[in-house]
């Protein structure tokens, strides 16, 4: 048996051992995960910048098409077209506060991936677990297509396609397809597909679950089949454009971009883009015939097509905006799918918060009023009314509150503030507020980023595996 296959089988066994109490067997899903003939085809790459510590360590792993930035160690793992973006890891001597605790980092934080398989997964941010501040670990974990592991140490877990764990430590959990979990610390949970759960113990608890039949049209997962649905088709149809950017060692600059903005070399930029200042366009973003207003960002795996972003807009990892006009400061969370049509344009008012994993798929024009909080599945005005609330009203909620399939408990003002603070933080670290040499963020710093490649064995038993590689300054 080839080394790649052995390694994969071993990872599947390890995840299954961890998930045994849930009686969850990842094998049938894992089967279709790695096109083994692709594993030797794609190079992996890493960023070098004067702004982030460099320490990469790859050991007995396959890394096809994956990207690394910052301090990362990958051992006995399979990463396929995954982005391991350690540009927000904590630094040595940095003082960290968690609630009433304060801690000084005695070394730079490291992303440590071991015995895991990640497919088209985004790993970003830093360990929000105060118990392991120096290590953002992902072990014995299998993450499927377009999942996000964001600031979330994971141990022995499974993430279905388009699943997101955000600022959450997770042990022995299975996160269903298109579920979004932000819940501090969870263990031994089997989360059903289409669950949107934002929980801050003692403060607030937000819960929504997609109707299964409706969600299935967008993304479905069955044993022994690759994931399918509208979301998958949407991405597949645009795959060929990514091919081009990865095929060339040196690609010509495509569009004029202001000096305060940065356009990643592995982003797809199709004609008629207007990009203003302080804009960050990340790896594998896809931009076409749109305008990105000042201080906007287009994060990894996002798509922005035939749309306008007024300014200071966050388009989070994996979010898709099509035929839409986004008001100033409007935020679109992870993996959301805003799917206007030529004949049915979507307008999102200023200051709106589109929750992660929201689907807006309309056949008639629709307008989300300014300063609204929006979630779940919205296909018309009635569903918008059911799945949104003004931020003003959200701020007044205390105790239990239900609306449609959404249930809320706690202090609405705290939820509102948590989102607003976070959006402002995201804009800040991305360099949206850069002014006169002050407040530089990723948008400015990434201009000093260069991308280097590493490649796998092409022959023999080790085909598709990478040599052991250690890179440091």
d(CA 144, CA 29): 9
- For residues 314 and 298, the answer to whether their CB atoms sit within 8 Å is no
**Do the beta carbons of residue 72 and residue 86 sit within 8 Å?**
yes
Q: Whole-angstrom Cα distance, residue 437 to residue 31?
A: 50
Centroid of chain to Cα 238: 18
Question: Given candidates 1, 97, 243, 472, which one binds a copy of itself under the rule CB under 8 A?
Answer: 472
For the chain, what's the residue count? 473
- Least distance (Å) from a copy of itself to the CB of residue 14? 23
Count of residues binding a copy of itself (CB under 8 A)? Answer: 28
Nearer to a copy of itself, 222 or 453 (CB): 453
The CA R_g of the chain, rounded to the nearest whole Å, is 21
Query: What's the closest the beta carbon of residue 451 comes to a copy of itself, in angstroms?
Result: 8
Residue (3 or 371) nearer to a copy of itself, CB = 3
Residue pair 206/198 in contact (Cβ under 8 Å)? The answer is yes
Residue 469 is a binding residue for a copy of itself (CB under 8 A) = yes
Residues 426-455 that bind a copy of itself (CB under 8 A): 448, 450-455
Q: Which of 95, 237, 250, 253 binds a copy of itself (CB under 8 A)?
A: 250
Supply the minimum distance, in Å, between the C-beta of residue 106 and a copy of itself.
23
Q: Which two tokens stand for residue 124?
A: 């970003």
202 binds a copy of itself (CB under 8 A): no
| Residue partners of 403: CB distance under 8 A and separation at least 6 | 386, 387, 389
* Contact flag: residue 460 with a copy of itself (CB under 8 A): yes
Please identify, using beta-carbon distances, which residue of 213 and 247 lies nearer to a copy of itself: 247
User: Does residue number 471 form part of the binding site for a copy of itself (CB under 8 A)?
Assistant: yes
Report, in Å, the least distance between residue 2 CB and a copy of itself: 13
Q: State yes or no: residue 1 binds a copy of itself (CB under 8 A).
A: no
Q: Are 300 and 320 in contact (CB under 8 A)?
A: no
As measured in angstroms, the least distance from the Cβ of 266 to a copy of itself is 12
* 462 belongs to the binding site for a copy of itself (CB under 8 A): yes
**CB of 1: closest distance to a copy of itself in angstroms?**
17
Residue closer to a copy of itself, measured from CB, 95 or 450: 450
Q: Which of 373, 343, 370 lies closest to 358, judged by CA?
A: 373
Distance CA 309, CA 330 (A): 8
Residue from 237, 248, 253, 271 touching a copy of itself (CB under 8 A): that is 248
- Tokens 């306008």 identify what position? 308
Encoded one letter per residue, x for contact with a copy of itself by CB under 8 A and - for no contact, window 21-50 reads: ----------------------x----xxx
| Contact call for residue 242 and a copy of itself (CB under 8 A) | no
Phi, psi of 416 (to 5 degrees): -55, -50
Q: What is the DSSP letter of 142?
A: E
Centroid of chain to Cα 164:
7
Residue corresponding to tokens 């991308």: 451
**Least distance to a copy of itself, CB of residue 71, Å:** 13
* Contacting residue, 38, 201, 212, 458, with a copy of itself by CB under 8 A: 458
Beta bridge partner(s), residue 325: 308, 347
Rounded to an integer, what is the distance from CA 204 to the centroid of its chain?
23
Residue 225 or 244 with smaller CB distance to a copy of itself: 244
What is the residue-wise DSSP string for 117-141? Answer: EEES-EEES----TTSTTEEEEES-
Chain residues that interact with a copy of itself, rule: CB under 8 A: 43, 48-50, 54, 247-250, 448, 450-455, 457-460, 462, 467-473
């Amino acid at each position: 048996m080839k080394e790649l296959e052995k390694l994969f089988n071993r990872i599947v066994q390890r995840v299954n051992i961890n998930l045994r109490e849930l009686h969850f067997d990842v094998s049938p899903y894992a089967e279709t995960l790695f096109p083994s003939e692709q594993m030797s085809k794609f190079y992996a790459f890493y960023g070098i910048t004067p702004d982030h510590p460099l320490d990469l360590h790859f050991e007995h792993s396959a890394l096809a098409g994956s990207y690394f930035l910052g301090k990362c160690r990958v051992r006995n793992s399979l990463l396929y077209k995954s982005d391991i973006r350690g540009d927000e890891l904590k630094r040595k001597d940095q003082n960290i506060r968690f609630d009433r605790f304060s801690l000084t980092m005695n070394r730079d934080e490291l992303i440590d991936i071991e015995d895991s398989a990640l497919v088209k997964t985004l790993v970003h941010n830093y360990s929000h677990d105060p118990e392991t501040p120096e290590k953002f670990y992902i072990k014995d974990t299998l993450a499927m297509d377009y999942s996000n592991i964001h600031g979330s140490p994971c141990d022995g877990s499974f993430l279905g396609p388009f699943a997101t764990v955000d600022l959450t430590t997770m042990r022995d959990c299975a996160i269903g397809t298109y579920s979004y979990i932000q819940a501090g610390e969870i263990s031994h949970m089997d989360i059903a597909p289409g669950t949107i759960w934002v929980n801050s113990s003692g403060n607030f608890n937000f819960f929504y679950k997609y109707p299964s039949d409706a969600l299935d049209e967008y993304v479905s997962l069955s044993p022994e089949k690759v994931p399918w649905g509208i979301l998958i088709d949407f991405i597949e149809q645009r795959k060929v454009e990514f091919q081009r950017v990865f095929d060339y060692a040196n690609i010509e600059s495509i569009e004029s971009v202001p000096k305060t903005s940065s356009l990643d070399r592995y982003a797809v930029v199709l004609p008629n883009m207007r990009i203003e200042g302080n804009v960050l366009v990340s790896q594998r973003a896809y931009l076409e015939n749109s305008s990105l207003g000042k201080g906007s960002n287009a994060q990894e795996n996002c798509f922005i097509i035939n749309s306008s972003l007024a300014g200071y807009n966050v388009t989070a990892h994996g979010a898709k905006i099509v035929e839409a006009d986004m008001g100033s400061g409007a935020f679109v969370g992870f993996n959301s799918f805003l799917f206007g049509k030529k004949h049915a344009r979507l307008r999102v008012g200023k200051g709106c918060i589109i929750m992660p994993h929201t689907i807006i798929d309309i056949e008639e024009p629709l307008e989300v009023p300014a300063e609204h909080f929006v979630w779940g599945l919205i296909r018309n005005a009635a569903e918008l009314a059911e799945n949104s609330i003004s931020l003003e009203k959200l701020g007044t909620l205390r105790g239990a509150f239900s609306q449609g399939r959404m249930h809320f408990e706690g202090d609405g003002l705290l939820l509102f503030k948590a989102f607003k603070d976070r959006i402002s933080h995201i804009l800040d670290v991305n360099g949206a507020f850069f002014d006169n040499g002050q407040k530089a963020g990723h948008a400015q710093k990434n201009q000093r980023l260069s991308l280097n490649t590493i490649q796998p064995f092409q022959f023999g038993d080790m085909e598709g595996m990478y040599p052991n590689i250690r890179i440091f300054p």
